[in-house]
Amino acid sequence: MNTILEKAKQSVLQAGEIIKDNYLKPKNIQYKGRIDLVTETDLAVENFLKVELSKILPDSSFLAEETAGDAQLVNRTWIIDPLDGTTNFAHGLPMVATSVALWEDDQVVLGIINLPILNEVFTAIRGGGAFLNGQPIHVSNCENLEMSLIATGFPYAIDEHVDFITTALRKVLLSTQGVRRPGAAALDLAYLACGRYDGFYENCLKPWDTAAGWLLVEEAGGTVTEYGKSEFNLFSPNILATNSHLHDKLDDLLG
């Protein structure tokens, strides 16, 4: 698995060069929904990764954001978000990520999150810990909700969830040191894994948004569930991830 990780990481870093090359260029933007964007860079990165990762594991399949269709999780499935934070990318903001995970034996066994504009790459293998640019990372030790920094995100179907979002945000804002919303769930989970955030919650994410970050957080000592402490899976309607110390307290706020 270490060999697979290293080869996959190199492919993800090469894909990051595509993002860097196009970061300051004019964008060809299309809309998948009212506020859901896709650019030619999303498609180029996804296509590149599918070719390169197929070379590493020729018998593997793919569940990737822009070409998911009716694709299902089967053994040895690469789960890919080529450009998480497309809206940020389209506006020239640096909070963008490529997320790649490998699903095997009914679990995520490998995760890579690359932040190409910020020059940070996070990696994890199940049972092997989590790393940032090759150095071990761990979730924060914060145990006091009032001293915590929490991240969240807003789904594209904002009209369906705005009441929950505003109610939860008010509770969290009044109970913590602050809330951040960078606009890329993969980045949020990576930042939680390395201790920059103490917790993260969001509704309506997809498998490619959370697969690699889920493993990173758990390998860094954190906890990932749905709201209400239900077991998390890649098709869960929501995600609550914390440094473990604050999990029950943050979950109570969201209940």
At 209-226, the pLDDT tens digits run 999 999 999 999 999 999
Number of domains, the chain: 2
- Last residue of some domain: 137, 167, 199? 137
Residues 133 and 94 in one domain: yes
Same domain (yes/no): 198, 130 = no
What is the span of the domain harbouring residue 11? 2-137
What pLDDT sits at residue 29? 72
Give the pLDDT of residue 33.
Answer: 59
Known binding site: residues?
65, 81, 83-84, 209
Residue 35: predicted pLDDT: 46
107-138 pLDDT tens trace: 999 999 999 999 999 999 999 999 999 999 99
Below-50 pLDDT ranges, the chain:
35
Do both 87 and 205 map to the same domain?
A: no
Task: Decide: 31 and 42 in contact? Cβ < 8 Å.
Answer: no
What is the SS3 string spanning the chain? CHHHHHHHHHHHHHHHHHHHHHCCCCCCEEECCCCCEEEHHHHHHHHHHHHHHHHHCCCCEEEEHHHCCCCCCCCCEEEEEEEECHHHHHCCCCCCEEEEEEEECCEEEEEEEEECCCCEEEEEECCCCEEECCEEECCCCCCCHHHCEEEECCCCCHHHHHHHHHHHHHHHHHHCCEEECCCCHHHHHHHHHCCCCCEEEEECCCHHHHHHHHHHHHHCCCEEECHHHCECCCCCCEEEEECCCCHHHHHHHHC
- Are 83 and 169 part of one and the same domain? no
The Cα 137–Cα 106 span in angstroms is 25
How much is the pTM?
A: 0.95
**What's the pLDDT tens digit per position in 24-36?**
887 777 766 564 5
| Domain termination residue (choose one: 70, 103, 137) | 137
Residues 89 and 25 in one domain: yes
Detail the residues annotated as belonging to a binding site for Mg(2+).
Answer: 65, 81, 83-84, 209
- Measured between alpha carbons, how far is 201 from 151 in angstroms, rounded to an integer? 7
Are residues 174 and 205 both part of a single domain? yes
CATH number reported for the structural domain that contains residue 125 in this entry: 3.30.540.10
Q: 55 to each of 8, 99, 121, 126, 127, how far by Cα in Å?
A: 10, 18, 21, 22, 25
User: How many Å is the maximal CA-CA distance in the chain?
Assistant: 51
Q: Specify whether 242 is located in the same domain as 125.
A: no
Whether residue 184 sits in one domain with residue 221: yes
For residues 104 and 78, give the distance between their C-alpha atoms in angstroms, rounded to a whole number: 9
Tell me, yes or no, whether 105 and 25 share the same domain: yes
Same domain, 101 and 184: no
Question: Of 95, 112, 137, which residue constitutes the final position of a domain?
Answer: 137
Tell me the CATH number at 234.
3.40.190.80
Distance CA 235, CA 176 (A): 28
Same domain flag for 123 and 30? yes
**Do residues 29 and 124 share a domain?**
yes
